[in-house]
Amino acid sequence: MGIIKLENVRLYGFHGCLKEEEMIGSDYRVDLEVHADLSKASVSDQLQDTVDYVHLQRIIREEMARRTKLIETVAKRILDRVLEELPPVDSCNICVSKINPPIGGDVQQVTVCLESIRE
């Protein structure tokens, strides 16, 4: 078993329950970790034998571009697509952070983390 991590993927999005968030947007950070058997890729040196992290980044970018009220929702959509589109992935974890959320106070970020396991 191996792990591939995409860390500190920085994006701009329009998630949130407030009308201002829909119009102005916010900065977001995504950290994604996928677990898969990487033993064949470690020997073959072939892209088709591993989990393509360009594909992972594209899923993150596309789902973060779709507006939602809750970052929990966008996190789940990303996990669902990873398991649907990348059969070698056995499980995955994600953390989606909203940087400087408009919640009244000096808060650096709010982070939601979810995990999904292939059934």
| DSSP conformation letters of 57-71 | HHHHHHHHHS--S-H
The answer on pLDDT for 30 being more than 90 is yes
Angle between helices 53-65 and 71-85 (to 10 degrees): 140
Is 40 an active-site residue?
no
Distance CA(74)–CA(15), nearest Å, equals 9
Domain boundaries of the chain, sorted by first residue: 2-117
**Average pLDDT for residues 74-80, to the nearest whole number?**
98
pLDDT per position as a tens digit, 41-57: 999 999 999 999 999 99
Question: Which residue in 5, 69, 76, 98 is the catalytic one?
Answer: 98
Phi, psi for 74 (deg, rounded to 5): -70, -35
CATH 3.30.1130.10 corresponds to the domain 2-117: yes
For residue 83, the model assigns a pLDDT of 98
pTM of the model: 0.93
